[in-house]
Every structure is written in C-alpha cells, then in structure tokens.
Homo-oligomer: A and B are copies of this chain.
C-alpha cells in the first residue's frame, strides 16, 4: 500500500541511495557470494533482499565494475564469487568521495538548523 506515513519510511528511503556503495565496500574486502553479502549487510543494520541484490549485481557486472567466478560449494549448489575489477576500485573511490561530501553537507545543515 502506498503513502507510508510511519517513521520507518525515512530509514527505507535513506538506505536506498547508499546500497550500491555498501555492496562495493563489502566486495572490496575479498571475494564473496550474494547470500553472504546479504548476511553482512544485515549484521550492519542495512536490510536488503534478494530481489534487490541480484539485479544490482547484474547491473554492476554489465558495467564492468564487478566480475565473478563460479565456485563449487561443499554444502549445496555452486556459488558466484564476486570481486571488484579495476574499474570497480575506481568506482568505490568515487562513492567514498560522494559519501564524504554528502555527510558533510548534511551534518552542516543539521548544525545550522538546530
């Protein structure tokens, strides 16, 4: 149902803009497969679901920001282990700048208006 009025909506909206950044951050640590990316995001209070992550990973793959290798699992079907390409490392850097600019802007707005 549309037109949420409750408080949770604020959180949801804010998280949207930074998901790609968070995913790049996590992948930058080392090769990882989607289900574990979701787990790690949740541990950091950043909720995400499969229907969001898979299209995001595909998009980043087709933009040559990410690449992956199939690796067999000992406890189930094979997994796609993702890593950053060199383009991905550049992209992460620019996300980091964006984040730092954005949080500076907002923190200064907060200071001005309290």
Interface, chain A (partner B; CB < 8 A): 3, 5, 7, 10-11, 13-18, 20-22, 25-26, 28-29, 44-46, 63, 90-91, 94-99, 101-103, 105-106, 108-110, 112-113
- In the assembled complex, the CB of A100 is this many whole angstroms from the nearest CB of chain B, namely 9
Closest-by-CB residue of B relative to A62 is B3
Q: Could you show 15 A-B contacts with beta carbons less than 8 Å apart?
A: A5-B63, A10-B98, A11-B102, A13-B16, A14-B18, A14-B102, A15-B17, A17-B17, A22-B109, A25-B109, A44-B105, A45-B101, A45-B105, A46-B109, A103-B103
Contact, CB under 8 Å: B10 / A91: yes
Q: How far is the CB of A66 from chain B (nearest CB, A)?
A: 13
Q: How far is the CA of A106 from the CA of B41 in the complex (A)?
A: 10
CB–CB B25/A110 < 8 A: yes
CA gap between A29 and B111 in the complex, in Å: 11
